[in-house]
């Protein structure tokens, strides 16, 4: 496990144990914010109701705003699994963290 993944896991665990709300940046990255839909850890992104709503790879959140999945290297490889590294931080097929970025 890389030091980046360990530090992210420690940060998320400390935030959860402190009982404080998630930082604003993490809240911006959550897909389907404000939705009552609960997805389990590691659920495939194909279960999202707004998947490919605006075309291939351009999804819609609960309010209809478009977003795309991105990794630190660009587009995710293979399928995306949600909430693997914490709320709003998924993983692609190679294990890279996947975030939600609003579509311009």
Q: Which domain holds residue 89?
A: 3-102
| Residues 17-40: tens digit of each pLDDT | 555 444 444 444 444 444 445 667
Q: What is the pTM of this model?
A: 0.61
Tally of structural domains, the chain: 1
Query: Cα–Cα distance between 5 and 11 in angstroms, integer?
Result: 10
Query: Cα–Cα distance between 22 and 28 in angstroms, integer?
Result: 10
Length of the chain, in residues: 104
| Residues 34-85: tens digit of each pLDDT | 444 566 788 898 888 899 999 999 999 989 999 999 999 999 999 999 999 9
Query: What's the CA dihedral at 23, 29, 34, 38 to 10 degrees?
Result: -100
């Amino acid at each position: 496990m890389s030091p980046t993944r360990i530090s992210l896991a420690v940060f998320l665990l400390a935030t959860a144990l402190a009982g404080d709300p998630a930082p604003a940046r993490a809240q911006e990255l959550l897909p389907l914010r404000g939705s009552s839909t609960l997805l389990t850890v590691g659920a495939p992104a194909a279960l999202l109701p707004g998947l490919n709503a605006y075309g291939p790879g351009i999804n819609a959140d609960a309010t209809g705003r478009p977003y795309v999945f991105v990794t630190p290297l660009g587009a995710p490889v293979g399928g995306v699994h949600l909430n693997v590294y914490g709320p709003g931080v998924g993983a692609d097929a190679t294990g890279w963290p996947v975030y939600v970025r609003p579509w311009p």
